[in-house]
Amino acid sequence: MIKKKLFSVLAILAIVLMAGCKEDDYVEVNGVCPVVVSTNPANLSTGVPRAQVISATFNEEMNPSTITQSTFTVKEGTTAVAGTVTYNGLIASFTPSSRLKPNTTYEGRLNQKVMDLRGNSLQMDYVWTFSTGAIVFPMITATDPLNLATGVAFNKLIGVTFSMMMDPSTINSTTFTLKQGTTAVAGTVSFSGQNASFTPSLMLTPNTVYTATVTTGAKNLLGDAMLKDSVWTFTTLQIIAPTVIATDPIDLAVNVPVNKTVSATFSRKMNAASITASSFTLKAGTTTITGVVNYTDSTATFNPNSDLAAGTTYTATITNAVKNIAGTNMVNDYVWSFTTSVAAAPLVILTDPLDLETNVSVSKTVTATFNMSMDPLTISNTTFTLKAGATLIPGMISYANSMASFNPSSDLLENTTYTATITNMVKNEAGVNMVNNYEWSFTTHSNSVTPVVDLKSAADFGILAGVGVSNQAGFSEIRNLNVGIYPGLRSSVVGFPPAIVVNGAIYAADDIAPAGVAAMLNQAKLDLVAAYLYAEGATSPAPATVQGDQGGKTLAPGIYKSTSTLLIQSGNLTLDAQGDPNATWIFQIASGFTTVGGAGGSVILTGGAQAKNVFWQTGSSAVIGDYTVFQGNVLALQSITMNSHATAVGRMLAQNGAVVMTDTNIITKP
């Protein structure tokens, strides 16, 4: 029995010794011998990169001194590959001294002399094979300009794009050239990633064929060269002499303002240095007019030092000394003439309030409309005044669209007569003064039963919106009122045409002409907000509570308050002034306001009622229904929508949202 046990132990020891492992290792949990668990590349791999680092990963830490160039080799057939062997952690690495050959099979070998930290060696050599990929040669995939391109700019930067990342050191003035015939063009070569560019040192010659070349000296990061030179040609622009394509005033224009800035627009970008007081002149007969010459964005301007003479013919000349940016002169002088207007004095043609008007709101903005465009700089607190007797009333002056406005700093006194004056120091755009002062007077109201909602400058608008104005379909019209958007931009005003503004204009926050549009719109929006808040908070006389559908009802003047939405649906709503032309209605609507066309839904005025004295203050949005005939001014916190063929005598004023006309809507000044 003892002999059998001894024989078994000896057998086990023999197996361990044959495996190259020590007896005490044989019983360890982690195994008895070191083995290779993976390689990179894996055995039989194909398409291996030529810059591959060959590595093997062991199942345990190895003795670095046993992993050397003699125990870790890479061969091409029987030829050893030169390289460096390193070991880190569980990984032995072989880094070839140079790139491997393309499309070639290699053998990796770890000799069985490689040992772990306990002296255990591999049981046998570990051998694996792999094959490299074929060479992918770089090529040019795009050029700028394209091959055979014409009309190329004289300052063109020549560019190429490669099919792969390139070696920057091989992209230079030797491998990337530009020639005119056989003459090399001087320039600078730059390169980044897959893109190379050639920047000529001087402008290219007009109407000339150039040849660009990238030679096979250009190589990728593996050192592989292009298979052949890449050559392409292009032709530069022909020389085309610049011409004057437009003037302001046009040739033979009449009634030109005496303060006109004369301009000429060219067919091409010009050399600004060639446009001077010598090459751009203005004369009255043989008398040279002095002025300042400027050039911006293809347009030259001549701004006379003083106003031109009225009723006089002037001749403007652009000489052929002017040049475009390519240095090409105009062929001939360009000459045109125009005649200034005969002096015509401006007139005040309309005031608000009218002369001798009574019952005027104490929060009134006083306006005067001229028969022509005026010089805004001449309209000020000195030339536009308001007095109560001899007392001068302070206020703010503004001017837009031939209308001057005086907005008192505080409400006027009740039952008081005021005198407004426009002096003859105001001038039109041509610099002509009014002949005489213009005066008118009016009297404010006394203790009105219903408070007056004064829109001030917002009253000039049939539509005033915050973010958008649109006409979705049909030939809508806004009559005798303006359209404004603030702070929204003109790009948010759409559908004009087919919609039109009759005796009015469209203004947007980004308009640069006429001057002061943004400030005017901002003031109108402030006046709208003030009117909205005034209408919302009015408490005298005491508001009557209303709710739901008001269709079929008749309402006397006063304040009507709804704590939610309000409708006009089951019939028309009649507003009866009972013979008082100054009767006022204020509807305070906490939420949405809707009229529904069909069997009613319209607003009817009777007993002398006027649409200008009806105010619909809406806490959210308003919808004017299909075919509704509406009366009054909508002051909405959000948006207003006019449905198909709805009409209104009044105003659609939305503080924050849009005003939308869906189809053939009419808004008329009340």
Do the Cβ atoms of 236 and 206 come closer than 8 Å? yes
> If you average pLDDT over residues 463-467, what whole number do you get?
96
pLDDT digits (tens, 9 = 90+) for 306-335: 989 888 999 999 999 999 887 889 989 999
Return d(Cα 249, Cα 630) in angstroms, integer.
46
The hierarchical CATH code for the domain 140-236 is: 2.60.40.1220
* Residue 276: Cβ-neighbour burial (10 angstroms; 0-12, 13-18, 19+): middle
For the cut 50, the answer to whether the pLDDT of residue 455 exceeds it is: yes
Do the Cβ atoms of 621 and 606 come closer than 8 Å? no
Return d(Cα 307, Cα 432) in angstroms, integer.
11
Interior/surface letters 413-423, b for 16+ CB within 10 angstroms, e for the rest: eeebebebebb
Residue 399: phi, psi to the nearest 5?
Answer: -145, 135
At 430, the pLDDT band (50, 70, 90 cuts) reads confident
Domain ranges of the chain: 29-132, 140-236, 244-340, 348-447, 457-668
How would CATH label the architecture of 244-340?
Sandwich (2.60)
CA angle 40, 44, 45 (to 5 degrees): 55
For the cut 90, the answer to whether the pLDDT of residue 11 exceeds it is: no
Q: What pLDDT does residue 667 have?
A: 97
Number of other residues whose CB lies within 10 A of the CB of residue 210: 21
Return d(Cα 596, Cα 571) in angstroms, integer.
9
The hierarchical CATH code for the domain 348-447 is: 2.60.40.3710
At 55, the pLDDT band (50, 70, 90 cuts) reads very high
Strand partners, 336: 316
Q: Which amino acid is at 651?
A: R
DSSP 99: P
Q: What pLDDT does residue 23 have?
A: 37
Q: Which amino acid is at 94?
A: F
The four Cα atoms 152, 157, 162, 168 give a dihedral, to 10 degrees, of 160
- Report residue 173 CA to chain centroid gap: 41
Q: Token pair for residue 168?
A: 């920057």
At 19, the pLDDT band (50, 70, 90 cuts) reads very low
Q: Give the residue from 185, 200, 122 showing the smallest Cα distance to 155.
A: 200
The hierarchical CATH code for the domain 29-132 is: 2.60.40.1220
Residue 545: phi, psi to the nearest 5?
Answer: -80, 130
Do the Cβ atoms of 595 and 623 come closer than 8 Å? yes
Do the Cβ atoms of 575 and 559 come closer than 8 Å? no
pLDDT digits (tens, 9 = 90+) for 114-161: 999 999 999 999 999 999 988 888 999 999 999 999 989 889 999 999
Do the Cβ atoms of 126 and 101 come closer than 8 Å? no
Q: Which amino acid is at 581?
A: P
Q: Which amino acid is at 479?
A: R
Q: What is the β-pairing status of strands 209-214 and 291-296?
A: unpaired
- What integer best gives the mean pLDDT of the chain? 91
How far from each other are the two terminal CA atoms of the chain, in whole angstroms?
Answer: 128
Do the Cβ atoms of 310 and 341 come closer than 8 Å? yes
What CA–CA distances, in Å, run from 525 to 463, 532, 623, 641?
11, 10, 21, 19
At 450, the pLDDT band (50, 70, 90 cuts) reads low
For the cut 50, the answer to whether the pLDDT of residue 14 exceeds it is: no
Q: What pLDDT does residue 339 have?
A: 92
Residue 408, preceding bond cis, omega within 30 degrees?
no
| Alpha helices, H only, 229-317 | none
Q: What pLDDT does residue 446 have?
A: 66
pTM: 0.40
Do the Cβ atoms of 604 and 622 come closer than 8 Å? no
Return d(Cα 310, Cα 450) in angstroms, integer.
53
Strand partners, 85: 94
Q: What pLDDT does residue 28 have?
A: 37
Same fold, 29-132 and 140-236: yes
Return d(Cα 234, Cα 236) in angstroms, integer.
7
Return d(Cα 201, Cα 204) in angstroms, integer.
9
Give the containing element (helix H, strand E) for 189. Answer: strand 187-192
Percent of the chain with pLDDT over 70: 94
Return d(Cα 651, Cα 469) in angstroms, integer.
13
Q: What pLDDT does residue 449 have?
A: 53
Q: Which residues have CB under 8 Å from 334's CB, separation 6+? A: 243, 244, 264, 317, 318
Q: What pLDDT does residue 601 have?
A: 87
- Rg of the chain in Å (alpha carbons): 45
| Dihedral-angle region of residue 223 (phi above 0 means left; psi in -120 to 50 means alpha; beta otherwise) | left
> If you average pLDDT over residues 275-289, what whole number do you get?
95
Q: What is the β-pairing status of strands 647-654 and 629-636?
A: parallel
Mapping DSSP to helix (H, G, I), strand (E, B) and coil, where does residue 177 land? strand
Interior/surface letters 149-174, b for 16+ CB within 10 angstroms, e for the rest: eeebebebebbbebeeebbeebbeee
Q: What pLDDT does residue 359 have?
A: 81
Give the containing element (helix H, strand E) for 80. Answer: strand 79-80
For the cut 60, the answer to whether the pLDDT of residue 27 exceeds it is: no
